[in-house]
Every structure is written in structure tokens, then in C-alpha cells.
Amino acid sequence: MMTTAPKMTAADTFAIGGDLVVNRMGYGAMRLTGQPANFGPYPDWDAGKALLRRAAELGVNFFDTARAYGPHWNERLLGEALEGDPQAVIATKGGIDKLSPTQLLRDASPGALSRHIDDALAALRTDRVDLFQLHWVDPNTPIEVSVAALADAQAAGKIRHIGLSNVSVDELRAAQAVAPIASVQNRYNVRERDQDAMIDVTAAEGIAFIPYGPLGAHPMKPGAPLAAAAGQGTRTGAQTALRALLDRAPNIIVIPGTTSITHLEENVLA
């Protein structure tokens, strides 16, 4: 039997930046890329688009991608699949280029970020990115300088909200001194809980916390994802793990990724 969209309540949503309301069960698109290590285009392009559209049918309206996924290819896939969907909120990230399956180049200089934003607009087929996140802090560019460049793009109408990824609380504070920060995306799951302090800070300040690796998967370390014991009211261990994150704080938006429509439907039931 095909899964139908669950009925959403206020507790199932969060307003990113105070005005961009999304369902807290999102979708992380990183795996819709080539292999190994999420490099190159997704080999079954039409199936990837079908999965994204099925997610939207199930009520998922928050989709997370990044320039580094592919690179570029993942943003293009989402742009093709979700173009014209008024409910779809797409978050992307910049400041990193993927040069090979094992080599990343961090460049969050103002010039690079300006180029990454323009590329994202073209790939996503939109005139404004809903949420543009600094993927990593560039060791050669102070975070304040990177965020100032994002603020300039925001003022120009190219991005709606600014987010951060892979940051500490101190780095969040430095960024906030330059511009409002709408989200933080750091690695977190029921076994890797070193971000509890960040969750408390962001929850208190109305900032979205978007845990990546919510089921323990790691793109650079192949292996079995998190195996959580199924609990009462859930159908799979994955549902148990996702539900635990959603219950941790009301500002958490989970972004499990999958290439299977069956797994997608099971995750949404969390």
C-alpha cells in the first residue's frame, strides 16, 4: 500500500528565520549523486527526480543540498525536479568545491561565495535561494568576512536567509555580530551527541538546528548506518532514531537521505 502524507500539526513545523515555515521532516539530497563519495551526477537521473517529487507528495517541503554534492550536479537535479513547486523550500551550501571523490577545496572568500550563489540560482532555477549556508569556515577567510558577503547577497535579494554549517558556538556568535543567522547545520544523531549545547543555544534563540548524518551515515566512511532498536509506535529503527531527534528540541529539522522511495516513505512516518 502506498504511504499517504501524514497530517501535520504546528509541532511538526518550524519557521526558519521566523517566516519560512517548513515541515520538520525534511530530505537531505546528498546521496542523489554519483559514487563513490557523492562525486559526479546521479546515474539514474529520472529516478532521482521521481524520488524528490514523491517526497513533496508526502508533505516534505524542505530539501537540503550543496554546491559540493557532485559537485553542482545535486543542485541541478533538485532544480529540475522541484521547479515550479511553490511549497518546496531548498537550502543549499557554498564555500566548498569538490575536486575529486576525496579532495575538497574550502574557499569562502567574498568572490567565491558570490560565484557560488549565482551558480546556485542558475542550477536551482530560481531567482532567490531560500536558505544559503556557509558549508565550512574557510581557514583563510574570517567567518565575519564570509558572512558579510552573504549579507550583501541577501540585501541584493539573491538569498532569503543565511545559515551556517560545521560551526562552534563561538563561530555562531561571531557570525551573528555581522548578520542574523537563521540556521545551524552540524553533525548530530543519537550516538553522536556533542552538539547538545549548540541545540540548546539555537532552540533558545529561535534558530533552526539541522542535524546532518541523523542516521549515522558518513559519505567518506562507507559502512552500515546507525542501527537503532525499533521502539513502540515506530516501524523501523530509522524511525526510532529520527523521532528521538525530533523530540530532542522543537527547532530541529531532520534531513535523512535515501535513494529508495520505500525508505523515504518509512522515514516520513517518523
Split at pLDDT 50, 70, 90, the class of 11 is confident
Q: Is the pTM of this model over 0.75?
A: yes
- Which domains are delineated in the chain? 10-268 (3.20.20.100)
Query: Is 27 in the active site?
Result: no
Quick: pLDDT tens for 145-160: 999 999 999 999 999 9
Asked if the model's pLDDT at residue 92 lies above 70, the reply is yes
Sequential DSSP letters for the chain: -PPPPPPP-GGGEEEETTTEEEESB-EE-TTSS-TTTTBS--SSHHHHHHHHHHHHHTT--EEE--TTTBTTHHHHHHHHHHTT-TT-EEEEEESEEEEETTEEEE--SHHHHHHHHHHHHHHHT-SSEEEEEE-S--TTS-HHHHHHHHHHHHHTTSEEEEEEES--HHHHHHHHTTS---EEE-B--SS--TTHHHHHHHHHHT-EE--BSTT---TTS-S----PPP-TT-SSHHHHHHHHHHHH-TTB-B----S-HHHHHHHHT-
250-254 mean pLDDT = 98
From 27, 42, 69, 188, active-site residue: 69
